[in-house]
A and B are shown apart, each in its own frame.
Chain A
Amino acid sequence: MKKFWLIAAFVIVALAHIATPVTMILQRGEILRAGHAYKFRTRPVDPVDAFRGRYVWLHFEQDHAQWCSHAERRPGAEAFARVEEGADGFAVIREVAPEPPAQGDYLKVVESFSVGTNAHFRLPFDRYYLKETKAPKAEEVYREHNRRNQTNLNTYAVVRIKNGDSALEELYVGGKPIQDYLRAAKP
């Protein structure tokens, strides 16, 4: 009898262990399939900080917006950023509020700090994972296309958004997916 319960517990635990990463994949697949695609323009970075281990640390221009609530702003609290597509085809965050908007797409973000009526936040997609051996080249390429005082319309991340959740689809550098760009740039 003891053996039966032990095996039953083992099966439940094993299923839970396999189900966790499977759920992660399914959730992401659903956002990629049904989510609306937005282009988020990257912004210049401190060259030292761009690459951390096995991912490129992404910085976006849209990291702050108007706080549209009378509620108190609390660093670290969850907030909701309303996302729209601008006239130039890139994503624009119109406002941030403590509640999700009634209509339109929005992102769940974490408030970091406030300046005046602006609330700054961390977007939930700030890493692009890459193979370790591609690190130096990716860092170089990302930096080249994100220099200060330079407007580069070809460097952006495509992110799909559905019900406040997001999935980073691809990072474009010089108008090409970064993997293709690196492959083409290979000596």
Chain B
Amino acid sequence: MSKKHINWLHDELPGLVKAGIVPADVADKLRQHYGPALARAGKNWALLIFGILGAALIGAGVILLVAHNWDDLSRPVRTALAFAPLIAAIGLAGWVLAYRTASAAWCEGMATAWALTIGATISLVAQIYQIQGDPARFFMTWILLGLPVVYLLQSSVAASLYFIGATTWVGCTVWPHHRVTSLWYWGLLALALPHLAGVWRANRYGWRAGLTGWVLAICLCIGTGMSLEGALNGAWIVAYTGLLALMYLAGKRWCDAAPTLWQRPWQTIGAVGLGEVALMLTFQWPWKEIYSQWARSRETLASSPIAIAGNLLAAGLAIAAIIAVARDLRRIEWNNIDRLLVGLAPVCGVAGYVVAAMYELHSLPQALFNAYLFILGLGALIAGIRSNKLSQVNAGLLALAALIVARFFDSDLSFLLRGLAFIFIGIGFLVTNVVMLRRKGAPAA
């Protein structure tokens, strides 16, 4: 019986006994059988959310009043006001650590407030005292100070903010004239890995694993390219085909039984990202400058440790993905052909890059990725039909349609032919979906 029904029963029993409908001993037996009334989690959550909302509104009102008179306040008063949110957050976090560590809602809420007030206080102090600084240093200070909050309060929301902060930091280092290597991005992410490992060990399908998984996967998609400092032009091709394939393969290996999309961040981002990257690589522009840059910089490449590290990182991601799929090669059948198809992406990425760097050939790697995207789409389509999975069928059709549409836009075919092609793609989608739905036994219309 659900928590809600047990609570209802406990509420009803005294009235039923009083009215003589249920004897007292039977009521006791029922209570023993169904166990004690359970805490009303929904109400607690609602209370907490509205409590936080109310506090936030009062806080916002106070901030507005203070902001209105900000210039008329003396510097020490403004400084005290800048420290107030941080000290309040620390005080409340201390209370949570002492008395409410069992409540996820309290821990998460206070950790989020604490992590955010660190940045707010530092930037307010910087403004009050006209302290100059570059954004990269500000974000680095903020996230490094915020990291212990993740562990103290076991907060996955704070960990997600940390990933976003680290990615913002790496974005700031791309700006010219920075003096810290952006490769530190990987070191920063590694600092939060013990929290992720703990979350996964506890429940890899829980909301914490879902939230941190989605945020980290999206952050990796943005931050990886920016972190490849000193890497050769086009190294991103090798890095991203490797990274996205790794994400998909990891998701498939460890989270394959996830019932909802929210619980499948790694395979979802991996598949969508890989489709997009493969589509980009069917165009000429990614391959164009690789040869000339490779010819220019191969001598200086070996002399810079940062360049070596950046290129090794890109190559390492692709090699790790290839090894991961090679280990599974013997066990691959039709129902898990997707692993092989995804594992082919870094192979094509490395092969395409080598050809483009050595022989100044754009057309060959382009043709390779046209063939790859076609095989990826067709493979997903066939595997989806065989296993009766409509989402997989549609993903395959989408990949094929994207390929056809892309090729039609950069070809000189007439509008009539392009129009007809779009109509056929549309018919293909409709017919396949109708057939699949009939096979599943659902009404087609």
Listed in ascending order, the chain A residues whose CB lies under 8 Å from chain B are: 6-7, 9-10, 13-14, 16-18, 20-21, 24-25, 28, 54-55, 75-78, 110-112, 122, 124-129, 131, 134, 167-169, 179
The residues of A that contact B130 with a CB separation of less than 8 Å are 125, 127-129, 167-169
- Chain A residue nearest to B79 (CB atoms) is A25
Chain B contact residues, CB within 8 Å of chain A: 67, 70-71, 79, 82-83, 86-87, 90, 93-94, 97-98, 118, 121-122, 125-132, 141, 145, 148-149, 152, 176-179
Smallest distance from the beta carbon of A58 to chain B beta carbons, Å?
10
User: By the criterion CB–CB under 8 Å, are B126 and A24 in contact?
Assistant: yes
Question: Quick one: closest B residue to A13, CB to CB?
Answer: B148
Q: Smallest CB–CB gap between A125 and chain B, Å?
A: 5
Which residues of chain B are within 8 angstroms of A21 by Cβ–Cβ distance?
A: 82-83, 86, 121-122, 125
A14 x B176 contact (CB < 8 A): no
Chain A interface mostly: mixed
Task: Specify the chain B residue showing the minimal Cβ separation from A77.
Answer: B179
Residue of A nearest to B68 (CB): A133
Interface centre among A16, A17, A128 (most CB of B within 10 A): A17
- Chosen A-B contacts, 29 in total, with CB atoms closer than 8 Å, are A6-B97, A7-B98, A9-B152, A10-B152, A13-B149, A13-B152, A14-B90, A17-B118, A17-B145, A18-B87, A18-B90, A20-B122, A21-B125, A24-B125, A25-B125, A75-B176, A76-B176, A76-B178, A112-B177, A122-B177, A124-B132, A127-B132, A129-B128, A131-B70, A131-B71, A167-B129, A167-B130, A168-B130, A169-B130
Q: Is the interface of B mostly helix, strand, loop or mixed?
A: helix
A75-B177 in contact (CB<8A) = yes
Closest to A110 in B: B177
A6 with B125: CB separation less than 8 A:
no
- Once the chains are docked, how many angstroms separate the CA of A31 from the CA of B46? 51
Q: A10-B93, A17-B90, A24-B122 are in contact. Are A54 and B129 (CB under 8 A)?
A: no
Taking a contact as CB atoms under 8 Å apart, the answer to whether B129 and A24 are in contact is: yes
Of the candidates B79, B87, B132, which one forms a contact with A126 in the assembled complex, judged by CB atoms under 8 Å apart? B132
The smallest C-beta distance from A148 to any residue of chain B, in angstroms, reads: 26
Contact in complex: B71, A20 (CB < 8 Å) = no
Q: Contact: B71 with A76, CB < 8 Å?
A: no
Closest 3 pairs (CB-CB, A-B): A76-B177, A129-B127, A21-B125
B141 touches A6 (CB 8 A): no
Bound Cα distance from A2 to B147, whole angstroms? 20
User: How far does the alpha carbon of A13 sit from the alpha carbon of B71 in the complex, in Å?
Assistant: 32
Question: Contacts A16-B145, A21-B82, A21-B121 hold; do A10 and B94 have CB atoms under 8 A apart?
Answer: yes
The chain A residue sitting closest to B145, CB to CB, is: A17
Smallest Cβ-Cβ distance to B153: which chain A residue: A10
A24 and B152 contact, Cβ closer than 8 Å, known pairs A10-B97, A122-B177: no
Residues of B close to A110: CB separation below 8 A: 177, 179
Residues of A within 8 A of B132 (CB): 124-127, 168
Whether A17 and B86, one on each chain, are in contact in the complex, defined by CB atoms closer than 8 angstroms, is: yes
Per the bound structure, the CA–CA distance linking A84 and B148 in Å amounts to 45
Residues of A within 8 A of B179 (CB): 76-78, 110
Is the beta-carbon distance between A179 and B129 smaller than 8 angstroms?
no
Enumerate chain B residues within 8 angstroms of A14, measured Cβ to Cβ: 90, 93-94
List residues of chain B with CB within 8 A of the CB of A179: 71
User: Once the chains are docked, how many angstroms separate the CA of A112 from the CA of B70?
Assistant: 36
Q: With a CB–CB cut-off of 8 A, which chain B residues contact A125?
A: 130, 132
> Which B residues are CB-close (under 8 A) to A9?
148, 152
14 more contacts with CB within 8 A, not counting A7-B97, A14-B93, A129-B126, are A10-B152, A17-B145, A20-B122, A21-B83, A24-B126, A24-B131, A25-B79, A25-B125, A25-B129, A75-B177, A76-B178, A112-B177, A131-B71, A168-B132
CB distance from B367 to the nearest CB of A (A): 39
How distant is the Cα of A18 from the Cα of B97 in the complex, in angstroms? 18
**Pick the contact of A6 from B127, B129, B152 — CB < 8 Å?**
B152
In the complex, which residues of chain B have a beta carbon less than 8 angstroms from the beta carbon of A24?
A: 122, 125-126, 129, 131
CB-CB under 8 A from B131, the residues of chain A are: 24, 28, 167
Give CA–CA (A122, B176) in the complex, Å: 12
Residues of B within 8 A of A54 (CB): 127
Q: How far is the CA of A126 from the CA of B240 in the complex (A)?
A: 38
Most buried by A among B98, B126, B129, B152: B129
Taking CB atoms, residues of chain A closer than 8 Å to B121 are 21
Q: Which chain B positions have C-beta within 8 A of A7?
A: 97-98
List residues of chain B with CB within 8 A of the CB of A76.
Answer: 176-179
Give complex CA distance A174, B94 in Å. 51
Distance in Å: Cβ of A179 to nearest Cβ of chain B = 7
The chain A residue sitting closest to B91, CB to CB, is A14
Query: How far is B90's CA from A24's CA once the two chains are assembled, in angstroms?
Result: 19
Residues of A within 8 A of B82 (CB): 21
Distance A126 CA – B132 CA, assembled complex (angstroms): 8
CB distance from A142 to the nearest CB of B (A): 15
- Shortest distance between the CB of B116 and any CB in chain A (Å): 12
Q: Which has the most chain A C-beta neighbours within 10 Å: B83, B98, B130, B178?
A: B130
Q: Closest residue to A12 on the B side, CB-wise?
A: B148
A75 to B177, CA, bound (A): 6
Report the separation of the CA atoms of residues A78 and B177 in the bound assembly, to the nearest whole angstrom. 9
Chain B nearest CB from A29 CB (Å) reads: 8
